Structure 1
């Protein structure tokens, strides 16, 4: 019986939460002042020195709220910093599944901000084996290390532990099933899904190169299996690694994408339209800032942007057309696509509207109206799971069986 102790809450979480609360209070105050300013505009009263700001006694009140919030935030951080010193975090103690799920969801929504601000809730990128992170700074000791590696990449707001699910009393984990059948070692990537996909791809490429140098036995074959955003991170990593002439892509034999939005996801485009619509009137314009809380990783899902050159850094929230340059599948690698739809058969509605609830069927299969953007997955390298949702792909024994047929 395992005696591993997990912690749901740590002292460091209190200071991280205080930072988020301070930022949220500043943001809410700016929204309220912006709406107040819009109301004053209707009666012709002069505004403050900057757009969306008030003046006079009203402006003084809002500035006072910001000042008090800043002081309270600094005071709370100072007190909680002393609490951390008294109860230092045990970095060897793993997160509980509940804490990890909370951090993963928060990272997906605003992980780019957490990383920039040095918030302790930001997840570092790690390769996990048997539930433990690999230390890639020194030679690795891995019992029964295989020369064949299977690396699993999770999707947005998720983590490596969520590859395991229970289906009617049966535990399903594609990685474990494939490893047992194929004699390979499964590794699981854990990463901050709120960062730009290309940035995660570059770091993953570097970690794979370090892994290749420190694996206990010479690596002969590598297979990548990505779910949702994980498939885009995998494609980005391969592209950047090849461009930089790293060694590990020469050993890459398989690239499998499960429900990956190769050409974008409608929900992100809906968020983009929400931002545009809120900005059409002076009364709702201050609320548009709420739509700008979406992380860089989420906005990259608008069109499935996997390269740094694909994104517009000036304002990623504005309505822009698909400005990606075509990026074909990597040559010499067996590439496979699993898509899902909640429908019972393929149809125009199933392909363009339903999909798996998050990703359209055509996007998951790499299909595109522009031939230059079309991903040429061979017909026998495509498979559709019917009556299956986006997350259902992770717990489907039928998906495991299909992966085994391909990778054997």
Structure 2
């Protein structure tokens, strides 16, 4: 079917064919804005490194050496009116001017081009950028920033009874809300298998109506949890038939967002938690992920040396959503009074699993069952470090050295997937079968 932009349905192309045709003009506008900020950032980094070298060289010479560096608090060390300072200032000025001109030019073309439907490639690009830089995208009103929505088949749902009934034929009273993880999107729940993904099979076998959350994973978990709590309240009120039950199925970070939403919804007095029957977590880092803790350690090492200190800013580009994964923050109080990039103990407020809700957890390990004398070593590695490649077994199972922080999953509500990685939890048939057993009330 032809698109409104170009006869014959061919997507508009950008000059020189340098950019993919699936990009919207608003995407190019957002990428241009990021490129401007990146150039300014790299220029500032180079200036800081050079200035810190100046400081290190000048320090032994005392007051005499101080005459040759910028001594203003927070200064880079490069004198603004010196030749080097003028060069850096000129680069920054030209970059801002070029970025402003590009933004103005692209703004004029953004409205018609954005009428084109999205594609899986574009969705993957947007979700990755939002995972890494999502908080900055939102703060700078970048058009690449994702807004939280419930979607079906990749298209947003209008939370109004007639609209929902029209978009979701055969709607039931059993709602299955599916939450993706960091740097991901709702389309990645889909499977190429003939039977379909988890949502399609649970709909077919247990009568659920699956809905897919699409959200900016770079925001604080507490912010996403607050938004989700309100969104589910709107959904329950707009559902075109009486809601019998709500089940949340979450992968990775999505499980933290789901737990945060439940806690904040209860505090706000929302009605939908009374209809929440079950929560299922797939590879959720309930007590944090090792890679973010490693990132925090690297920040500390780089920041401890005057010359390498500016390079710590590169690691500190990572989003609030990522730094929340250090310990598994759920609430605003967990991060509000602490520096995001400062290393410190786990000071989270313990948040138990919601009472009266059946909670299930799936943990995975890439290590196949061992044999002989190495069994204990392999199990220890799987539990504390390797896990599914991103999340350790203990974290996914809700286990913690502090008994007060352990999550009370009954043994029969825990399942360890052997020889499976983090991403395979989204689509492996063994996982689907376990979900059907649990949610269908069948014995494991």
TM range (shorter): over 0.9
Residue matched to 2:372: none
Quote the residue 1:13 is aligned against.
27
Partner of residue 354 from structure 1, selected from 370, 386, 408: 386
Larger Rg: 2
| 1:130 to partner: Cα distance | 3.7
**C-alpha contact (below 8 Å) 1:136/1:207 kept by paired residues:** no
Whether 1:33 and 2:47 are equivalent positions in the alignment is yes
For 2:418 and 2:320, locate their aligned partners in 1 and report how far apart those are by CA, in whole Å: 31
Q: 1:200-253: per-residue Cα shift (whole Å, max 9, x none)? A: 111111110001111100101000000000011000001100111101000000
Other-structure match for 1:328: 352
Does the aligned pair in 2 maintain the 1:53–1:59 contact within 8 Å?
no
Q: Residues 388-403 of structure 1 correspond to what in structure 2 (within 5 A)?
A: 388-403=420-435
Runs (5+) with no aligned partner, structure 1: none
1:328-383 CA deviation, whole Å, 9 max, x = no partner? 10000000000000112371111112100000000000001101000000000000
Name whichever of 56-65 and 250-259 sits farther off. Answer: 56-65
Normalised by the length of structure 1, the TM-score is: 0.95
The Cα shift of 1:138 comes to 6.4
Tell me the distance in 1 between the aligned counterparts of 2:338 and 2:141: 23
Secondary structure of the 1:216 match is: coil
Structure 1 pair 288–171 and aligned structure 2 pair: CA distance change class (3 A): farther
Aligned length: 402
Asked if the contact 1:164/1:171 (under 8 Å) is kept, the reply is: no
Q: Distance in 2 between matches of 1:88 and 1:130?
A: 21
Tell me how far 1:323 sits from its aligned partner: 0.7
TM-score, normalized by length of structure 2?
0.87
- Tell me the residue number matched to 1:262: 286
Secondary structure of residue in 2 paired with 1:347 = helix
**C-alpha separation between the residues in 2 aligned to 1:401 and 1:388?**
15
Aligned equivalents of 2:97, 2:77: Cα separation in 1: 21
> Which stretch of the first structure deviates more once superposed, 24-33 or 54-63?
54-63
- Identify the residue that residue 414 of structure 2 maps to in structure 1: 382
* Cα distance between partner residues in 2 of 1:313 and 1:60: 38
Deviation, structure 1 residue 171? 5.5
Aligned to 1:89: 114
Task: Tell whether the 8 Å contact from 2:365 to 2:388 is kept in structure 1 after alignment.
Answer: yes
Other-structure match for 2:180: 154
Unaligned runs of 5+ in 2: 4-8, 12-20, 59-64, 370-377
Q: Give the corresponding residue for 1:127.
A: 150
What does residue 246 of structure 1 align with?
270
- The 1-side partners of 2:32 and 2:161 are apart by 36
